[in-house]
Structure 1
């Protein structure tokens, strides 16, 4: 929301150059003069010079004349010195030579970078209202070692110098001092001592507190839809994170197609900054249709309808119909926007029919849920009533009912959601039912899943996944299948059909009480946004741990990091099943 230009002052000293170029004949001045550039450089600076020098660029253009080439050679010393100065080398020796005895001519550029200059001293001076905040100044100095990109003793680099100045200024702008600015920055070079002294002066400006919230752009939805998402109060000290979080939360609501959150910063006291929220409302109704294919459930078609202002209260009504070869589903629900408590509530009903691994299941569900999202943690509490009818291949029928309570906790701690390279995602769930309370059986379930990303080198990544679950009950026949386990297929054990790993009963594959699945995968970039992958999965389901036997799948795959997310295809062999299977996936499996 605030832009600041950071100036940099770097002193570059003359380099030594030896050039052997004859003046071109006047008749040759407008004739194209092709040449080949050969660069010899110390300290692996070849790529830097090849990418940025005009002498290299014009070689590729192949339209340069001999006169133009002579001018390029005259200025190559300055160009090389400027480039190496950004990497901390201020006294390079440059030797440029043109050889016209061969065709095309050869330009030899020899660069000896010399010794790098290192940071000797760092001086950050604060002025403005922050002078009265001794505790804050002390904390800024204590945290400088963590945020400063150029510690004492490190090789000077222009990119790190710019980053350090940006971080120093942001440390003020992000909290209490949004009008802070940099009034001076200097990098003083001593080429004889090979040192650089860094200094910056920062003016914090006044300390601001939040003023009243002003909302514009609403015509159909109540203002409390926005106010219920505001987690800061008038009179509190300004924090940029509050405004960023508010804008993100509002933009995630389906009610708005555009959200802008900003503050007015008065130049005179009292320094109270009104918060301005400007929104553009989305269309009230939305109809979506789709066609697709899943290696788990086959060809599918879908239809959905959403209305954003039920009862003129900004309640969201949604309904959907999904038809797949192995599964069909119909659902409807109402979502109540976030309350002032920070929670979102929903009521819903659904019907699902599936026939997978010779087990036909009809499910009727209705329930209420309460959810919240804070930082990188999602929480869900759900109360649900379910009636189920399942029929085995031999005609055996089970028809349990249950009133269940469930709690789910998900933490996403990754460097990026679309294509993670480091961090982890942890999912924990627990719940169950009590016999006699609209339930045919007492049961409890515990489930956990973890995915860990390990970066390898600059671009490769190693992914480990572990999934464990157990349902505690005496009579499994009176427990709905959603509270038991089957596995197999994409995102679980590849090389096996969808939910084919379970317990054989009555000619069908039925779910069991215990689950364990693990996976190891290595991803390597191969071309632009494409990655190759090799993996091994191992897992299975049983009725008791003593009977558990895992199945193994191994294979290779390709990943495309598309604008809409990760799209993957895997070819896997199920070792025990002695079969190959192809699996398609979309999105990162958390």
Structure 2
């Protein structure tokens, strides 16, 4: 018990230490080749601006500068500094520049620049005017109101050049992304009164004509027809132009697998009432073979071979066949998928032959599935009939147990994350509902339910962006088989827990129903949960691609709800935002088994 308490303290303490911001090193740079040194005394924002952009900085290493030339450069620097400081809203600063010659204590001449910025200029009034179709179109009233409501540089705010530029660009984006793709800023004026320290802002947005989308004009097709592109793009002629709709259509075409590249744009040179939508495509290879080699802490070494045929002769469906070889899992399967219809639903037929270790039982299973599925940006749906057959053999017996079932199922997954594949907030929820019967001499009905949830909750956002703030990552799952006692179901329809994405500190599928002889089998009820604290790591004050984590997982599997007894895992870990997705590295302690276990996982899926 003392050992476990010591381990738990270390687990909880280490990420705090690793996430602590590292102190920046003390600068020790030399000025051996400098003609003079610039010393700026000013508020931080002004000091940073002058250090980066003051023209005088360019001449520091010209060692042949005379004193007269340096004095001339200092006069120019005064004017340059005033222009730069004006971009921050200070138009009447007091600037003093002094030249300190080299002496015994200072081996280089020093230019001392002292800035007293004075009062910042504040915005007194903002005038946003509209010309073109948006000015008189009643249907555009909401868009006009949104542009005005979202104007970021409001009366009373401090004027800065960057803020002024950003506000104009934001207004222009809001104008041109909906209905008015040729909109422009026809006039803009920032009228600064240095005496009153007030700014009067004026901007005129010329929308041009309102555009409606016309027919698709597709270029680059060889094997596929235009109808497939239309079903994937889902852009209806006659609807108002929307940049978001074009981007979504382009993404659907790219994600379909039929095309290596897709670009969707509106032809603004055509008639605005029915502007053609230009779709430029480059088709993917008809067939593709992918070899994969990898490893994971759950399943050991992995070898995979995947073949894709995008247009099977005779039926025109896509076929994806895969061979997978792992330490405790060997599988071969194939899926045929039809092209999508106008609502993005596809027919799908698949078969899978698999041999795997589930608990302590060696299970050889076959699965046949047929149905329809739909995949969208936020939600996936699947309706299917499924046949399962599983032959289970205990490691110490030779007599197999064979079970078969036939079921009808509906599954869905909803995703509302801010940024993928590195979410910092949002949630996802999925569920599966199925009902069917066992096959054999005494068929029995059953219902299978499974739900899972994942969420990210940002913490301490005061002064922090969501990406730089710590957060809680939470997940939970629950499953149940509702049937009479003694029902014989295929093991693949039952539940197990444990592993990288389940309960860390335990091996893959190590948590199940423990029989009297010590063997572990899948059970009828499942419950798992996890809470993980994630904190970004900073190096020298800068946000890095690494995060530290502290987590607690728990999970249970049983044949009766009253027998669910959670097994707990605690640990620490790190997350790396790698180029191919999030890398998860965790060291977990399984409280029930009293062992440490390393977990590694790559990618984000829900």
TM-score, shorter chain, exceeding 0.5:
yes
Residues 1:305 and 2:307 are matched in the alignment: yes
Going from structure 1 to structure 2, the CA distance change for 1:441 and 1:206 (only over 3 Å counts) comes to same
Q: For residue 32 of structure 1, report the CA deviation from its aligned partner.
A: 5.2
In structure 2, distance between residues paired with 1:81 and 1:314 = 69
Which residues in structure 2 correspond to 1:509-548 (within 5 Å)? 509-512=520-523, 513-527=525-539, 529-543=544-558, 544-548=560-564
CA shift digits 1:405-425 (9 cap, x unpaired) = 333332222221022222222
Residues 191 and 230 of structure 1, relative CA distance in 2, 3 Å threshold = same
Q: 2:388 aligns with which of 383, 386, 389?
A: 386
1:157 Cα deviation from its structure 2 partner: 3.0
Q: TM-score, normalization: structure 1?
A: 0.87
Report the CA distance between 1:476 and its aligned residue: 6.3
Match of 1:466 among 464, 471, 475: 475
Q: 1:206 to 1:144 in 2, by over 3 A?
A: closer
Structure 1: segments with no counterpart, 5+ residues: 1-30
Aligned counterparts of 1:244 and 1:446: Cα–Cα separation in 2: 34
Cα displacement (A) at 1:248: 1.0
CA contact (8 A) 1:490 1:585 kept: yes
Task: Quote the offset at 1:451 in angstroms.
Answer: 2.0
Higher relative contact order (Cα pairs below 8 Å, separated by 6+ residues): 2
* 1:324 alignment partner in structure 2: 326
Greater shift, 317-326 or 109-118, is seen at: 109-118
CA contact (8 A) 1:117 1:155 kept: yes
Deviates more, 1:186-195 or 1:308-317: 308-317
The answer on 1:507 being equivalent to 2:489 is no
Q: Kindly indicate whether the alpha-carbon contact (under 8 Å) linking 2:456 and 2:473 is maintained by their aligned counterparts in 1.
A: yes
495-504 or 395-404, which deviates more: 395-404
Give 2:494's match in structure 1, choosing from 484, 504, 529. Answer: 484
From 493, 501, 516, give the equivalent of 2:503. Answer: 493
Q: Does 1:284 align with 2:283?
A: no
Does residue 208 of structure 1 match 2:201?
A: no
State the superposition RMSD in angstroms.
Answer: 2.7
Structure 1 runs of 4+ with >6 Å offset: 436-439
User: Does residue 550 in structure 1 map to residue 541 in structure 2?
Assistant: no
Residues 253 and 542 from structure 1, CA distance in 2 versus in 1: closer, same or farther, beyond 3 angstroms? Answer: closer
Q: Is the 8 A contact 2:582 2:602 kept in 1?
A: yes
- The Cα shift of 1:145 comes to 5.6
1:55 and 1:560 map into 2 onto residues whose CA distance is: 41
Give the distance between the partners of 1:223 and 1:526, measured in 2 at CA.
50
Return closer, same or farther for 1:172/1:521 CA change in 2, 3 Å cut-off.
same
Residue of structure 1 aligned with 2:115, choices 105, 111, 115: 111
Contact 2:253 2:262 in 1 (8 A): yes
Q: Distance in 2 between matches of 1:284 and 1:147?
A: 47
Structure 2 unpaired stretches of 5+: 1-31
After superposition, the Cα gap between the structure-2 partners of 1:560 and 1:65, relative to the gap in structure 1 and judged at 3 Å, is farther
1:81-230 alignment runs, 5 A limit: 81-99=82-100, 100-101=102-103, 102-137=106-141, 139-144=142-147, 146-230=149-233
Aligned 1:416-435 pairs, distance under 5 A: 416-435=419-438
Q: Distance in 2 between matches of 1:70 and 1:582?
A: 66
**SS at structure 2 position matched to 1:47:** helix
Q: TM-score, normalised by structure 2?
A: 0.85
- The change in CA–CA distance for 1:238 and 1:393 in structure 2 (over 3 A counts) is same
Q: CA deviation at 1:250?
A: 0.7
CA contact (8 A) 1:511 1:541 kept: no
Secondary structure of the residue aligned to 1:251 is helix
User: What is the alpha-carbon distance in structure 2 between the residues aligned to residue 238 and residue 358 of structure 1?
Assistant: 59
3-state SS of 1:466 partner: strand
Paired residues, what number? Answer: 556
Cα deviation digits, residues 165-194 of structure 1 (max 9, x gap): 223222232222222111111112122222
Is the Cα–Cα contact under 8 Å of residues 94 and 112 in structure 1 kept in the other structure? yes
Mark the CA change 1:448 to 1:57 in structure 2 (over 3 Å): closer, same or farther: farther
**Contact 1:532/1:556, CA 8 A, preserved across alignment:** no
Segment drifting more, 361-370 vs 96-105:
96-105
Tell me, yes or no, if structure 1 residue 443 matches structure 2 residue 447: yes
Tell me: CA distance 1:542–1:199, structure 2 relative to 1, closer, same or farther (3 Å). same
Distance (whole Å) between structure 1 residues aligned to residue 488 and residue 474 of structure 2: 31
Correspondent of 2:599 among 557, 563, 583? 583
Give per-residue Cα distances to partners, 1:378-431, cap 9 Å, x unaligned.
222232211112223343743222222333332222221022222222333332
Change (3 A) 1:140 1:318: closer
Aligned partners of 1:403 and 1:439 also within 8 Å = no
Q: Secondary structure at the match of 1:66?
A: coil
Residues 322-342 of structure 1, C-alpha deviations (whole Å, 9 max, x = no match): 101111110111111211122
TM-aligned CA distance change 1:467 to 1:270, over 3 Å: closer
